Structure 1
Amino acid sequence: MPESGPEPIATFCGDCDCGCPRLFVDPAETGDRRVRITDDFGQRIQMSVEQFRDLVAQAKSGLLDGALTA
């Protein structure tokens, strides 16, 4: 059985080959490390599915829009 790894969900930018930020879901991880966001500098953030759902809900509601104009 092949080893499963993080499944890519989205690439942010994607217009180049510079290591754009990416969103992954890792089915092998449990709890608070299943969702992973990587940046173009090799850093990563890991969070639970529940935390990611909260982030998406806040973005959809417009709560994060102010961060872009600050």
Structure 2
Amino acid sequence: MTDTNSLTPVATFCGKCDCGCPQLFIDESAPVERRVVITDDFGQRVEMSADQFGSLIEDAKAGKLDVVAAV
């Protein structure tokens, strides 16, 4: 599993179980382009900049990611 001890937790995307739910973190010690961290329940992680994450949020708010929820 991904080590998250040095990360600041922001959100958990499930929380209804103990399966190692996907989570959103901030890594203040990482380079700016890798400070936003999303982990999954398989022990993987995605690192991105705050600008990239902001674009993802904008797309989600605009409904561009709704097709993913239907899968």
Give the deviation of 1:60 after TM superposition: 0.5
Superposed counterparts of 1:1-70, under 5 Å: 5-69=6-70
SS in 1 for 2:11: strand
List alignment gaps of at least 5 residues for structure 1. Answer: none
Q: Of the two, which has the highest radius of gyration?
A: 1
Other structure's SS at 2:41 match: coil
3-state DSSP class of the match of 1:10? strand
TM-score of the superposition, structure 1-length normalised? 0.86
Distance 1:63 1:18 in 2: 28
| More off after superposition, 36-45 vs 22-31 | 22-31
Partner Cα separation in structure 1 for residue 27 and residue 39 of structure 2: 13
Note the residue ranges of structure 2 that are not aligned, 5 or more in a row.
none
